[in-house]
Structure 1
Amino acid sequence: MALVAEVAPPPAAPRRPVRRALRYVVAIASVCAVATVGVVVGLNRLTGGGPVTERCTAELDGSDWFLSPDQADNAALVAGTAVARGLPARATTIGLATALQESKLINIDHGDRDSVGLFQQRPSQGWGTAEQIMDPVYSVNAFYDVLVEVEGYEDMAVTDAAQTVQRSAYPQAYAQHEMRSRAWASALTGNSRGVLSCELGPVADADQRAPEAARDTVAGRLGRDLGLAPATDGAAETRQDPASSAVTVDATPLTPDDPERGAWATAQWAVATAKATQAIEVRVADQVWLREEAAWLPAESPLPPGQVRIVADASE
């Protein structure tokens, strides 16, 4: 009888790699689950608390130029001061480019040697005391006081005009900020309209002010930055009830020969300062900016020429 050799079955494959692979699969699944939860939480926070990243935008020739809300607030002062002084948009471009280079448009209390403030002006160079320079209204006007004495600055390169005022060790650095500054200057002087918007979160309940205080905040900034006061008489009378947080302003004095430009300069100023004033609505001409939409939209009814209406968030 022939003998049939018994063939032993092949050895079983080691199970450790399988277990390891299973552990990898479980781990990956866990990470995905956590990520999914994170996305949901993030979306919930976005829905309930506004955008994660707050920013402001000025558009020019199809390009968007961004600033933080704090930078936009200071840019509004630089531009508003120029408009109130009757200076051309070019002055605003030069001022913004200078402040962007010197301080990133943030009112800082330090710098090279004794330099401080938006324009990094030095007390030792005759710009005033450190306390004065740290007042942005003072420092902006001090900058323009020197700029307007530069003959032909309107036709000079931004670098040359800024350097004539600042005497910087790096004069060519101002040029890199020219396009951003032009976009913001054009919007904040009212030459470009409906091009400036801010993405901002909702005002926290704890930060809301009473209606009267909300109006006072807007009115105070209007006076500081633009030299304007809320309208109180004639056809521009606001006729507000005590519970209203709306302020109506006649912007005609800014640009008497072009009320529409003054109105848009004021309206886009109001958007740029909305983080500080807690503005939630800005109306001008036939347009309205809504904080929750972060955009300009058609208004139901137009405002008279030159008028702007600003509504701040307020407690009930």
Structure 2
Amino acid sequence: MPISKKSRRLTGLTAASALALATTACGDFDFELPEPKPVGCFIAGDGEEYNPNGEQAYYAATIAAVGARDEMPERAIVIALATAWQESSMKNIEYGDRDSVGLFQQRPSQGWGTAEELQDPVYASNEFYRKLVLIDGWDSMTLTEAAQAVQISGHPDKYAKWETESTDMAEVFAEGRAEGIACTASRSRYGSTDTAELAAEYQSEWQAEGAADGRTIRFAVPDETRGWSVANWAVTRSTMYAVESVTYAGKEWRPGELEWADVENADASQVAVTLLSPEDQPSMPENGESS
């Protein structure tokens, strides 16, 4: 599925907007500047395209994975994602209002867990879902009502604005939208090359094993819904790992590409994630040097 370079950012100022502001401030140019290169991750939605940065996509995929593996209804995953967008801008922060920390800004003093536990995205997601499903009638509430029942926020009316984005992301990361995400991930080649570490992360989030084969880890999947959910999840791991490729169901994604390419020998029974070998990994450039 082609993902265009024209998109809506969830946070911050787009490069195109910054360029427009610079042009306005400095007057008319008599030459054309090159089009800014796209950065971050791109998710095609229903009439919209979203451009979270790599960190945000990484944590959104984790929240959805925990819900999907525990067979949470899609509505629960949408509520969890919208809550994290509102509470932390989908960042695993170590500070907040009073003693709030983590993706959901949960408070140790309110019985959510220790500060260390709440900065574990898997633990924090588990706790959010656990409390949500204990609320009588949560699945018939509006998103704002359900999120507020869990969070007891001072600004309960702000969750609803994230519903459309969160619905699209739940479809990508939990409901198996094919070719649902692509990331520029231009610096992923400097990430971890430890296949055991990636396998452990997969096991923690999906409660399933991965089989290492050299630099490739293969994740067996029962159907294409889980397969594309895992494949999309794997793309977001390029934020932390030196991902060389993700292949599934006749498609392959490589860092820097905004489209999945057709490939042979990529069946629908497993997702294959290949990492660079340490020998092939370039040295991190010095500050100011081009990569």
- The TM-score with structure 2 as length reference comes to 0.79
Deviations 1:240-267 (A, max 9, x none): 3xxx311111022xxxxxx110111100
Give the equivalent residue in structure 2 for 1:228.
Answer: 208
C-alpha spacing 1:208/1:96, structure 2 compared with 1 (3 Å): closer
C-alpha spacing 1:309/1:174, structure 2 compared with 1 (3 Å): same
Q: 1-side partners of 2:43 and 2:175: how far apart? A: 12
Aligned counterpart in structure 2 of residue 308 of structure 1, from 271, 277, 283: 271
Percent sequence identity over matched residues? 33
Structure 2: gaps of 5 or more residues: 1-28, 280-291
Three-state SS of the structure 1 residue aligned to 2:95 is: coil
Aligned length: 251
Three-state SS of the structure 2 residue aligned to 1:118 is: coil
Give the equivalent residue in structure 2 for 1:121.
Answer: 106
Give the equivalent residue in structure 1 for 2:197.
Answer: 217
Q: 2-side partners of 1:59 and 1:110: how far apart? A: 32
Three-state SS of the structure 1 residue aligned to 2:71 is: coil
The Cα of 1:77 is off from its aligned counterpart by 0.9
Q: 2-side partners of 1:218 and 1:295: how far apart? A: 23
Checking the alignment, whether the CA contact within 8 Å between 2:39 and 2:183 is kept in structure 1 is: yes
C-alpha spacing 1:201/1:86, structure 2 compared with 1 (3 Å): same
Instruction: Please tell me whether residue 283 in structure 1 is matched to residue 268 in structure 2.
Output: no
The Cα of 1:208 is off from its aligned counterpart by 5.9
Larger Cα-atom Rg = 1
Instruction: Please tell me whether residue 250 in structure 1 is matched to residue 230 in structure 2.
Output: no
The Cα of 1:86 is off from its aligned counterpart by 0.8
C-alpha spacing 1:128/1:159, structure 2 compared with 1 (3 Å): same
1:169-188 to 2 correspondences below 5 Å: 169-188=154-173
Give the equivalent residue in structure 2 for 1:3.
Answer: none
Checking the alignment, whether the CA contact within 8 Å between 1:76 and 1:225 is kept in structure 2 is: no
C-alpha spacing 1:280/1:156, structure 2 compared with 1 (3 Å): farther
Between structures 1 and 2, the one with greater helix share: 1
- The TM-score with structure 1 as length reference comes to 0.73
Aligned counterpart in structure 2 of residue 294 of structure 1, from 238, 253, 258: 258
Aligned counterpart in structure 2 of residue 80 of structure 1, from 65, 68, 80: 65
Structure 1: gaps of 5 or more residues: 1-30, 232-237, 253-258
Checking the alignment, whether the CA contact within 8 Å between 2:188 and 2:255 is kept in structure 1 is: no
Moved more, 62-71 or 290-299: 290-299
